[in-house]
Structure 1
Amino acid sequence: MNTTTRISTAERLGRTLGRGWRAYVRGERRASSWLVSKGMPAAGATAFVWVVKLVALGVLLYTTFWLAVLLLLGVAAAWLAGNSARDDDRWAQQDELRNGEAGFGLYSSNGQRLDPHDPNDPFDD
């Protein structure tokens, strides 16, 4: 029996996300400290970091909105294209090649010959 415990995938993913979050917070603190070292007040540096976060969130939401609009337009266009093809098939005349009153040829669903023919042609019957 193996006595070593194994880390589950969920725990591994949680630890990876936690390390990423801590790295982000360290970078944010480093940027804030750098701004303070250049002469910006601490409150101003904090406000600037928050403004950058909110602008990034706004750009992300704006981009997501337009991608969703494009996706919906694509779905609507596909739906319309699919429905128009079905309507064409439903209302289309059922033409077929068959042997009818005027000989072998292309006839409509109501029995009229559609292709041009010569009634005196001996090979047309």
Structure 2
Amino acid sequence: MKHTARMTTAARLGRWLGGVWGGCLRAERRTHRWLMAQGLPAGGARVLIWVIKLAILGVLLYVAVWAALLLVAVVVAARMAEQTPEGDDDFDLQFPASLDELRQTPGYDPNLYNDTSHEMYSEDD
């Protein structure tokens, strides 16, 4: 019985990348021939193709830098969000619990709290 070896994922990926690379080279040669058919000298066509390649590379690098900066900003924001402030975790706002405590706070105005039993309450409409 003959045992056939299966193609690995890495080999499949390599073949696919090789096919993509070969397709790009064929498209480049076709573009070079078309430019020469339009009357551009061979050297000028080669330079124009390199300028286009460098422009595409520049755009890709520009996008990569902004994507990296965005990723760094997201990571920094996540780290800041996960950190809790140091100190007392049982922080209360300490509102007065009763009417007597409320009356003893500085700047108490019975008209604001509709405290009719207070001696400074006035019924001005």
Partner of 2:85: 87
1:81 Cα deviation after fit: 2.4
CA distance in 2, matches of 1:17, 1:4: 24
1:93 Cα deviation after fit: 4.0
1:7 Cα deviation after fit: 2.2
1:35 Cα deviation after fit: 0.3
Partner of 1:102: none
TM-aligned CA distance change 1:116 to 1:15, over 3 Å: same
Question: If you compute each CA radius of gyration, which structure gives the higher value, 1 or 2?
Answer: 2
TM-aligned CA distance change 1:50 to 1:2, over 3 Å: same
CA distance in 2, matches of 1:2, 1:40: 57
Counterpart code for 1:117: S
What does residue range 24-43 of structure 1 map to in structure 2 within 5 Å?
24-43=24-43
SS at match of 1:87: coil
CA distance in 1, matches of 2:5, 2:97: 85
CA RMSD in angstroms, aligned pairs only: 2.2
Gaps of 5+ in 2: 101-125
Gaps of 5+ in 1: 96-107, 120-125
What does residue range 1-125 of structure 1 map to in structure 2 within 5 Å?
1-83=1-83, 86-87=84-85, 90-95=87-92, 114-118=95-99
CA distance in 1, matches of 2:5, 2:44: 48
The structure whose residues are more often strand, as a share, is: 1
1:118 Cα deviation after fit: 4.7
1:52 Cα deviation after fit: 0.5
1:114 Cα deviation after fit: 4.2
